[in-house]
Amino acid sequence: MGEMSEKTEGVMGPDYGIRAFQSQIESIYLGRDSKRGKEGSTLWFIEEVGELIRALRRGERENLEEEFADVFAWMSSLASIEGIDLAGVVLEKYGKGCPRCKETPCGCPE
């Protein structure tokens, strides 16, 4: 994991929740996911996204919660395989508001 940039100051602080989650997923799966590789893990991620979309369509609350957790876990694992610090990149991009207009809420024309 790279060091998070300190230049971003916004409403969001450093989100150690996201960092702790990514670290937890690495502890559980990174060895296995690294062996499977980017392509294999990407297929699993896409499959989980498909399941999330199905749950959204069906409006099954319990299943929906599970699928959000799975998609987040697989996205996190892919980020780790690529050496991306999720907490750092989301803070960098969205920590000061909309990346385009810099406002919160976004003031970009719809």
- The site for Zn ion (CB under 5 A) is made up of 98, 100-101, 106, 108
What does the alpha-carbon distance between residue 49 and residue 52 come to, in Å, rounded to a whole number? 5
The letter for the amino acid at 15 is D
What whole-number distance in Å separates Cα of residue 95 and Cα of residue 88? 10
Residue-by-residue DSSP string for 2-44: PPPPS---SSS---HHHHHHHHHHIIIIIHHHHHHHHHHHHHH
Whichever of 47 and 103 has its CB closer to Zn ion, that residue is 103
Q: How far is the CB of 15 from Zn ion (least distance, A)?
A: 21
Cβ-based nearer residue to Zn ion, 14 or 97: 97
How many other C-beta atoms are found inside a 10 Å radius of the C-beta of residue 106?
A: 13
Q: How far is the CB of 104 from Zn ion (least distance, A)?
A: 9
Q: Report the residue closest to Zn ion, judged by CB.
A: 98
Q: Give the residue with the Cβ less far from Zn ion, 19 or 96.
A: 96
CB of 46 to Zn ion, least distance (A): 28
Least Å from the CB of residue 99 to Zn ion: 7
* Nearest residue (CB) to Zn ion, 20 versus 106: 106
